[in-house]
Homo-oligomer: A and B are copies of this chain.
């Protein structure tokens, strides 16, 4: 307790990101980054940009990027919100759609930042248990008395709901906001963004950090009914007018335009994921059915934390969550084929 700090600053337990070690070179399979670089056009647009203009504030509305996204998805600019990573959008969403003390529903196993936001903004988190097989029972999400956030695919399981299931949830809560966090949607899920014009209670959140290989530039976007977007804007412009800088805007535009390239990266990642899955099964791993760029796995004999520690010893970082229910799992980002061969070989030494 420090006397100068607010109760919240004294008590909140921040989100813990995956390790970003500086001491030595690891094969990094712990933070779900893309193993492939961003579109070459990102480099081109930035190196050719007018650096003198960096003296000027960026466009606070990020209109050029919003227009591009709107056009692509046949929406209007007023349906789009751009944030400093999807995390910033999630934080603003907790402020924009919930009052202090409100309930918010999400699965008991999901992106752990939701709990941190609930704490930070004094919401009453209601965690709905997953089924035994780690899937979401959509019947648990019907006619709820407050808003919902669902990661689809879910993290860290990687498992996804079908669009028809997502729609059932949205339909069964027409008076409550339903946030679908689609950070990993491009790796095999079906996006709910085609429902935006049909349901005014739906907010879809996506990111440039995964399929577009721009985690280092901090860009996310949300799509939703104009009123929801207006709510996000009211909060954002009361918090920090300019959260996206000039070079991020340029990078985002080029990465978004170069769809062919990101599709190619995604398809390589999916391919590697499926091959890795088969190898893992041969090694007696239980592997959840991932539609994301990571695999959530558990070994029948060797405890997950031991695997995590031994991999680290061998120069391979994966993510381990010391948390009930999933404490015998590790989350492994899908890297390049070469990285996954090294990973599988390391596992062979550990589990055999």
Contacts and interface: CB of A to CB of B under 8 A. Distances in A.
Interface stretch (A44-52, A154-162, A163-171, A322-330): A44-52
Contacts of A38: 51-52, 54-55
Contacts of A242: 17, 85, 87, 215, 218
Which of A6, A147, A201 has the most CB atoms of chain B within a 10 A radius of its CB? Answer: A6
A15 B237 contact: yes
Interface string A228-249: 1011111111111111111110
A60 interface: yes
A3 B175 contact: yes
Contacts of A248: 245, 247
A318 B343 CA distance: 60
Contact of A9 (B53, B215, B235): B235
Given A6-B231, A231-B4, A235-B120, A216 B12 contact: no
B14 A237 contact: yes
A8 interface: yes
Given A12-B238, A54-B38, A238-B117, A243 B7 contact: no
A99 interface: yes
Interface in A1-26: 2-10, 12-15, 17, 20, 22
13 contacts: A3-B175, A4-B200, A12-B234, A17-B57, A17-B242, A28-B56, A33-B55, A34-B55, A58-B218, A88-B239, A88-B243, A243-B243, A247-B248
Interface of A: 2-10, 12-15, 17, 20, 22, 28, 31, 33-38, 42-43, 46-47, 51-60, 84-85, 87-88, 91, 95-100, 102, 116-117, 119-120, 147, 175-177, 200-201, 209, 213-218, 227-228, 230-248, 251
